[in-house]
Amino acid sequence: MPPATSLPWTFGVSDFSTSEPLHNAETIIAAGMDFIEPGLAKVAAMPEDEFLAAADRIKAGGIRVQSVNWFLPPSVKVTGPEVDEAKSREFLTSALGRAQRLGAKAVVFGSPGSRSVPAGFSTAIARQQMIAFCRLCAEVIRENRYDMKIAVEPVNHHETNFINTFAEALKIVREVDRAEIGLAADFYHFSMEHEATDIMLEAPGLICAVQLANPARRSFPKPGTEVPGLRQFFEHLAAVCYQGGLSVEANVGDDLIADCRNAVTCLSALRLQLP
């Protein structure tokens, strides 16, 4: 395992609840975070002039967009009878183009509203549709020379009925077999599924985005509050030589600045505790 001091990890805030990273970017960075992770579906829905103004503001402020989450709007279906490849390609070309302009290196693919399997629909067919969609993402990235990867995220069974564990996501990504498609490791979903994080040891080189939260109220981690399993999660990330960002995807409390500062203190201390 590499020493903690050599781990090039950065910390950020994902779009979730009331965090609104694109809007609150300056506040988040001033509070000690390294990057922001805006919601791509929100970014894609912005009028062009509004998006360009936001992108210019982020660039002028030297604010890093390591990744984006909230990949797809529910109207873009990945599984079921409403899948429309032309519609998907059109969205992907536009949305990923905006992610590229923001500088995102990873797109976290949770999107339960898009990928959940409709009642009565074949899970086997849905799996093949998911694989086809991921390969379509890879094609769009290659064709447009976007510098990013799609990070397939396991999402717990309370939020979707499809790809709930890291082990399931890993099988999908291996079958997709495209360099542009990797994995997201989200500590919160590991915890909700009671899945051991050592499964990440089977995915060296595939993890391209990491998210986390204290499973208690899906909150920002803070000093003095133990988060069972989080240190082991860090140890397994280090063991596979993960290099990249770790973003907090959590409910904001009464004070976003305090939440960010507490999380940076807590996560930095955990990193330094690694062997």
C-alpha angle 266/217/258, rounded to 5°? 40
Question: Nearest-5° angle of CA 223, CA 228, CA 230?
Answer: 75
- Average pLDDT over every residue of 191-216: 98
What does the CA dihedral 54, 59, 63, 64 come to, rounded to 10 degrees? 100
Condensed to tens digits (0 to 9), the pLDDT of residues 147-178 reads 999 999 999 999 999 999 999 999 999 999 99
212 close to 253: Cβ distance less than 8 angstroms = no
Q: Across all residues in the chain, what is the average pLDDT?
A: 97
pTM recorded for the entire structure: 0.97
**Residues 217-255: tens digit of each pLDDT:** 999 999 999 999 999 999 999 999 999 999 999 999 999
Q: Is the pLDDT of residue 2 over 70?
A: no
Closest by CA to 141, choosing from 168, 183, 106, is 106
Residue-range domains of the chain with CATH? 4-272 (3.20.20.150)
Query: DSSP states of 188-212 as a string?
Result: HHHHHHT--GGGGGG-TTTEEEEEE
What is the pLDDT at residue 40? 98
pLDDT band at 10 (very low <50, low <70, confident <90, very high): very high
